[in-house]
Amino acid sequence: MVVLLQPVTFNSDVYVNPKCKPSPVPVPVIDLTDADAKTQIVKACEELGFFKVVNHGVRPDLLTQLEEEANKFFAMPQYLKEKAGPPDPFGYGSKRIGPSGDMGWLEYILLNANHHLSSTKTTAVFQQTHATFREAVEEYMDEMKRMACNVLEMVEEELSIEPKEKLSKLVKVEESDSCLRVNHYPEKEETPAKEEIGFGEHTDPQLISVLRSNDTEGLQICLKDGSWVNCWRYSSGILSVMTNGRFKSVKHRVLTNTKRSRLSMIYFAGPPLTEKIAPMSCLVLKQEDRLYKELTWSQYKSHCYKSKLGDYRLGVFEEQLPFYMSNV
């Protein structure tokens, strides 16, 4: 990891709600070369919505290179970074997360992963960096796309989803709406009395999120009982819809309670904007058993972007449960 020579200074008055206490829980570690990996993945998605993968085939030197190049970007003078902002949502941003007033102790870049859809802010980020940064980003996104499709194909096989590649092709097609987010949580000179929010509690809306971070603590996921567990190194929103609630969308957050900076890279694998999302008929045979209405990825993405981080985003797309009446 590269230590920043000129750390960015933030002022934050956002603190953690102490209602949830961190607690230990084993996070599933899944070897993608294991013959039983597909069963383990589905179990983890149903029970926790979060799992760690090993033997994934991504070169360690690529991970190191991208971390180093990203740290070089965040170490640049603020006025140069701001040439790639404000985010629209792509580009460089700091402290402000989205348009609804959410704040955090971080700066970030959000990059479009679809080469067929132009983004002036993504281009602006690359203009402020060396060519090696763009090369590393593009290779990394290709690797994350491969891994995401691999995991989704294992899910399809385990659940006997038809037709084949129903999920993975949503990420493979040229129109796929995927992106890469790189979050940088600056180090602090003093550890505050209360842990501060780096990135507030939320769920991810895309099909699946693939996260990689440096060896700095801070990531936590929320369990069913409302307690939080620390994680070192996650199924997402519309998979909850497509599996009719069988897969969980895990709520997670990042705290800043360390003098070390934290860098995380998250690949969000999303379907085309016009793709219709609904519970899959092969998993839900009866219409009245469907928990969610049909929606497009564009509708859901727009709703998530306008909402606050902690909002329950799927609520407006839930089917209304029927009332049963009888004569007494």
Cα angle, residue 145 at apex, residues 75 and 199 outer, rounded to 5°: 45
> Counting beta carbons within 10 angstroms of the beta carbon of residue 59, is it exposed (0 to 12), middle (13 to 18) or buried (19 or more)?
exposed
3-state secondary structure of 277: strand
How many residues belong to the chain?
Answer: 328
DSSP structural state of residue 230: E
> Counting beta carbons within 10 angstroms of the beta carbon of residue 158, is it exposed (0 to 12), middle (13 to 18) or buried (19 or more)?
middle
Cα(206)–Cα(23) distance, integer angstroms: 27
Query: Which residue numbers are catalytic?
Result: 262
Which residue in 234, 225, 205 sits closest to 316, CA to CA?
205
